Amino acid sequence: MDSISGLLGGFAALANPETLLYMIGGFLIGTFFGAVPGLTSVLAIALLLPLTYSLDVTTALVACASIFMAGMCSGSITATTINIPGAPSSMMTALEGYPMQQRGEGAKALGHAALGSMIGGSLGALLLMVMAPLAADVALLIRTPGKFSLIAFALIVIIISQRGSITKGMIATLFGVMIATIGIDVVQPLARFTFGTSVLVQGIDMMPLIIGTFAISELLIQADSRSSRTVDPSMIQAAKVRRRDFIPPLSEVREIGVMRYLKSAVIGYAVGILPGAGGSMAAFVSYAESMRSSKHPERYGKGNPEGIAAAECANNSMCGGAFVPMLTFGIPGDPTTAIVLGVLVINGLQPGPQFMTQQLDLIAPMFASLFVSALILIPLTLYLLGPYFLKIVSIRRDVLYSSIAIVALVGSYVATYSTFQMALALVFGVLAYFLRKQKYPTVCLLLGFVLGPSLEEYCRRALSINDGNPSIFFTSPDSLFFIALTVVFFYFMVIRKPKDNSLGTPPAS
Amino acid sequence: MTSKPSSRQSTQRSSLGGEFFVPAALALITLVYLISAIQLGPPMKGGNMTASFFPIATAILMLIALACAMVHALRGKAKAPEEEAAANAESSDDAPRRRQYVGLSLGAIGVVVLTAGYLLAFDLIGYFVATFVYVLLLTGLFSGGFREKWLTKLIAAIVITVAGYLLFEVVFQVRLPTLWSQ
């Protein structure tokens, strides 16, 4: 009963005008960043991170949740209208949305995308509210050796989910782990890798790493582009949509069917729980399953609303699932939840098994924000702003990227009021630029950095319990379970790779 | 006639550079890291891991992965010279723009230099002047110079500078350095 009233309290918190303003503002920012090709909701949340120093933690989490939800669905705007997915999670939507746009049904395709996102996002948020407390109870059973094996499992799955570039995934992850070891040792008071400088004794802060990896590196990559606007204005003329056409016909919704929506939401939620999978994987798996189980698979790829519904329902449902491991185990599985973890850590909070019960009043508004963003803001934004979407996302690149540079750099300054953090952001930005140019997944760098210290700490604690004997990892049941799970995942994802099908290889996160 | 092969050669070299030299540079960093880790002391003491164990293990794994990446890069280049040549032909239109120095494009070098200058100026001359000049130069860089719409760029620089100040100093109450507070 306490948890139910706590969760309801989260909805009541949204009635606070300031919190509501941040939720709506976050949603609009997320929509913009998700829709503009090249920008992502991760970048939006990364830019928000420095501002959380001055924000109330609940307000910051509410804004993060609405940005996350908006970023997942808004990629469908440019995916449908001009065949350029605003976010990787909308690649499958482009397969069906753009052919519909070419038939003059672009607005209807966007309507189906919004409906799918609305249903998937709401169900994902509801499942999060129901399942997270249960997962927290299970997390209480996991002891130190099991925690090590769980984090190792998460890191290994993140690496092997980088299809086609496992070595690069491993390098990026290990590099993140190496950066995380700079500073005071996790167990004893000993400074490591400071190279005689006092500024490194405190270690590397998460903020310059995030700002550098996601914002500065994007500036460096965008500096190569010749176009003056984010979206070619000539495309806008060709992609006009009308507000009344956004409402999908009931007959088509019936044809898609309640079960398809439910199944896609469950698939998205389950994929979200997996480390490293992300929205693009959720959309791919759900789309493939929808095509497999469809009565008319031949219609896929030619503008079938079923495909749009399945992909969008899953990638928005993924948002709810992604929060489960972060809140219950303190293990983020994707960059967005890693940044949300950063927001919590900045405010002196450490997620874990008892976090849900002890800090429900802080977390519940974030759950409510996910739910309300999906159920109300997605359809409302489409209806109100839909006809102007392309005009909004077609803005001058010089103004956009100069603004991002200022928010990113001055934001880095906020943490310690020192230009050293800004310089670190620049260094990490250049580093991430090189990594991205050579297709190293920078997401792995961030997750290695976030999970590395816990991996080391639990490894050393577990070994000290057993006098340095590593057999404890194989005799402890919880640890053994995660080792077995790692083997199973490795078998299915690396040894017995999914066979190529008509959709090609699943998109990397 | 002679310019095409030479341009192909140079692009091939720079392409190999990225695939090979990024892991090579990381390997160099990892070696420095490994030496520092070893200097921390023995990895095990009294049957327990010390502060150096985990970094040493990480560095060794990293070096193995980097060696694999470098070998893969060398093998890949040996196998696919034709693909590379096709890619070169495709990108020949953008050749002047995509010329690279130490793996960085001209645009990226511009952003790095401007940002480094901004960081130096930020504490020295304060938020307003440093940000205005930085934004003005960035808008020029992102739009290919100041020959067109310079007035718009000037106005954009002023608006972004003032908006940044309002966001950080007024809304989020972050104390930014100013010329008069030095």
pLDDT of residue A235: 66
Is A63's pLDDT higher than 70?
Answer: yes
Q: Which residue has the higher pLDDT, B130 or A276?
A: B130
* B81 band by pLDDT with thresholds 50, 70 and 90: low
> What is the per-residue burial (b if ≥16 Cβ within 10 Å, else e) of A384-403?
ebbbebbeebbebbbbbbbb
3-state secondary structure of A277: coil
The predicted structure's pLDDT at residue A323? 92
Q: What percent of chain A has pLDDT over 70?
A: 95
* Whole-structure pTM value: 0.85
Which residues in chain A are closer than 8 Å to B45, comparing Cβ atoms? none
Which residues, numbered 87 to 106 in chain A, qualify as contacts with chain B under a Cβ-Cβ cut-off of 8 Å? none
Q: Do B66 and A422 touch (CB under 8 A)?
A: no
Q: Which residues of chain A have a CB within 8 Å of the CB of B111?
A: 219-220, 223, 405
CA atoms within 13 A on the CB side of A436: 20
- pLDDT-based confidence at residue A485 (cuts at 50, 70, 90): very high
Instruction: Name the minimum distance, in Å, from the CA of A327 to any CA of chain B.
Output: 26
CB proximity under 8 Å: B 142-181 to A = 142-144, 153, 156-157, 160-161, 163-164, 167-168, 171-176
- pLDDT at residue B10, as a whole number: 47
> To which H or E segment does residue B140 belong?
helix B127-142
Coil vs helix vs strand at A212: helix
Q: How far apart are CA B149 and CA A209, in angstroms?
A: 35
Maximal C-alpha separation, chain A: 71
Closest partner residue to A406 among B22, B112, B164, by Cβ?
Answer: B164
Collapsed DSSP state (helix, strand, coil) of residue A192: strand
Residue B42, judged by CB atoms within 10 A of its CB (0-12, 13-18, 19+), counts as exposed
Q: How far apart are CA B34 and CA A422, in angstroms?
A: 27
Q: Using the predicted structure, report yes or no on whether residue A507 has a pLDDT greater than 70.
A: no
Alpha-carbon dihedral angle through residues A125, A128, A130, A135, given to the nearest 10 degrees? 180
Interface residue A194 vs chain B (CB under 8 A): no
Give the model confidence (pLDDT) of B137-154 as tens digits: 999 998 877 777 888 889
Contact flag B115-A426 (C-beta cutoff 8 Å): yes
Partner-chain residue, chosen from B25, B54, B156, that has the shortest CB–CB distance to A181: B54
Structural contact between residues B115 and A423, judged by C-beta atoms closer than 8 angstroms? no
pLDDT for B1: 36
CA atoms within 13 A on the CB side of A203: 20
- What is the mean predicted confidence (pLDDT) over A133-147? 87
Q: Does A432 touch chain B (CB under 8 A)?
A: no
Minimal CA–CA distance to A431: which of A176, A56, A244, A64? A176
Query: What ipTM goes with this model?
Result: 0.84
Most confidently modeled range among A357-371, A485-499, B96-110? A357-371
Tokens 């009541």 identify what position?
A12
Residue A436's CB is within 10 A of a number of other CB atoms, namely 16
Environment class of residue A244 by beta-carbon count within 10 Å: exposed (0-12), middle (13-18) or buried (19+)? exposed
pLDDT at B91: 47
Yes or no, beta carbons of B58 and A178 under 8 Å apart: yes
Q: How many CB atoms lie within 10 A of CB A98?
A: 22
pLDDT class for A174, splitting at 50, 70, 90? very high
pLDDT value at residue B60: 97
pLDDT above 90 covers what percent of chain A?
A: 45
Joined together, the tokens standing for residue A58 give: 């609940």
Residue identified by tokens 């052919």 is A99
Specify the range with the lowest mean pLDDT, choosing from A64-78, A196-210, A424-438, B97-111: B97-111
Give B10→chain A minimum CA distance, Å: 18
Reference A272, options A340, A320, A339; nearest CA is A320
- Per-residue pLDDT tens over the stretch A223-282: 887 777 777 767 666 556 677 788 899 999 999 999 999 999 999 999 998 877 778 889
Q: For residue B86, what pLDDT is reported?
A: 54
Does residue A96 contact residue A303 with C-beta atoms inside 8 Å? yes
Alpha-carbon gap: B159 to the closest alpha carbon of chain A (Å):
10
The answer to whether A188 faces chain B, any CB pair under 8 Å, is: yes
Q: Which of A87-96, A193-202, A400-409, B42-51 has the highest mean pLDDT?
A: A400-409
Interface touch A467/B140, C-beta < 8 Å: no
Question: Taking a contact as any Cβ pair under 8 Å apart, which residues of chain B between 89 and 148 contact chain A?
Answer: 94, 97-98, 103-105, 107-108, 110-112, 115-116, 118-119, 122-123, 127, 131, 134-135, 138-144
Q: Could you write out the DSSP letters of every residue in A167-186?
A: HHHHHHHHHHHHHHTSEE-S
CA distance, residue A414 to nearest chain B CA (Å): 7
Q: What is the pLDDT of residue A161?
A: 82
**Average pLDDT rounded to a whole number, residues A51-58:** 84
Kindly report, residue by residue over A313-340, the tens digit of the pLDDT. 999 999 999 999 899 888 887 888 888 8
Q: How far is CA A430 from CA A165, A182, A435, B175, in A?
A: 21, 19, 9, 27
CB spacing of A192 vs B36 below 8 angstroms: yes
User: What is the model's pLDDT at position A509?
Assistant: 45
Q: What letter would DSSP give residue A497? A: P
Q: Do A460 and B53 touch (CB under 8 A)?
A: yes
Helices (DSSP H) in A103-216: which residue ranges? 106-139, 144-160, 166-180, 206-210
Please judge whether B65 and A193 are an interchain contact, meaning their C-beta atoms are less than 8 angstroms apart: no
User: Measured between alpha carbons, how far apart are the two ends of chain A, in Å?
Assistant: 38
Predicted confidence at residue A307, as pLDDT, reads: 93
**Distance, CA of B19 to CA of B7 (rounded, Å):** 19
Which amino acid appears at position B46 of this protein?
A: G
Beta strand pairing call for B100-101 and B48-49: unpaired
Comparing CA positions, the residue from A373, A383, A387, A381 lying closest to residue A118 is A373
Closest CA to A63 of A368, A386, A389: A368
Distance of residue B6 Cα from the nearest chain A Cα, in angstroms: 23
Q: How confident is the model at residue A382 (pLDDT cuts 50, 70, 90)?
A: confident
Which of A81-90, A292-301, A437-446 bottoms out in mean pLDDT, i.e. has the lowest? Answer: A81-90
**Beta carbons of A193 and B138 less than 8 Å apart:** no
Tokens found for residue A359: 């800090």
Q: Least CB-CB distance to B69: which of A171, A187, A417?
A: A171
Q: What is the pLDDT of residue A376?
A: 93
B48 with A402: Cβ contact below 8 A: no
Query: Average pLDDT of A125-150?
Result: 89
Mutant choice from A221, A226, A406, A412 vs B, greatest count of B C-beta within 10 A: A406
For chain A, helix, strand, coil in percent to 5 are 75, 0, 25
Of all residues in chain A, the one with the smallest CA distance to B45 is A468
Q: Does the distance separating the beta carbons of A174 and B142 come in below 8 Å?
A: no
The tally of CA atoms less than 13 A away on the side-chain side of residue B161 is 22
Helices of type H across A373-441: 378-385, 389-393, 397-414, 419-437
Identify the pLDDT of residue A313: 95
> Best-predicted range by mean pLDDT among A88-102, A213-227, B117-131?
B117-131
**A318, A264 Cβ separation under 8 angstroms:** no
User: Measured between beta carbons, which residues in chain B are less than 8 angstroms from residue A426?
Assistant: 112, 115-116, 119
Indicate the pLDDT class of residue A393, thresholds 50, 70 and 90: confident
Angle at the Cα of A221 from the Cα atoms of A220 and A226, rounded to 5 degrees: 105
Q: At what angle do helices B150-165 and B127-142 cross, to 10 degrees?
A: 140
User: Chain-wide mean pLDDT for chain B?
Assistant: 81
Per-residue model confidence (pLDDT) at position A354: 83
Three-class DSSP category at B100: strand
Task: Please state, in angstroms and rounded to a whole number, the distance separating the CA atoms of residues A404 and A411.
Answer: 10
Distance from CA of A166 to the nearest CA of B (A): 10
pLDDT tens-digit profile of A25-46? 999 999 988 888 778 888 888 8
Residue A492's pLDDT is 86
In this prediction, residue A228 carries a pLDDT of: 73
Using a CB-CB cut-off of 8 Å, the residues of chain A touching B144 are 226, 228
Q: What pLDDT score does B182 carry?
A: 54
Q: Which residues of B touch A422 (CB under 8 A)?
A: 119, 122
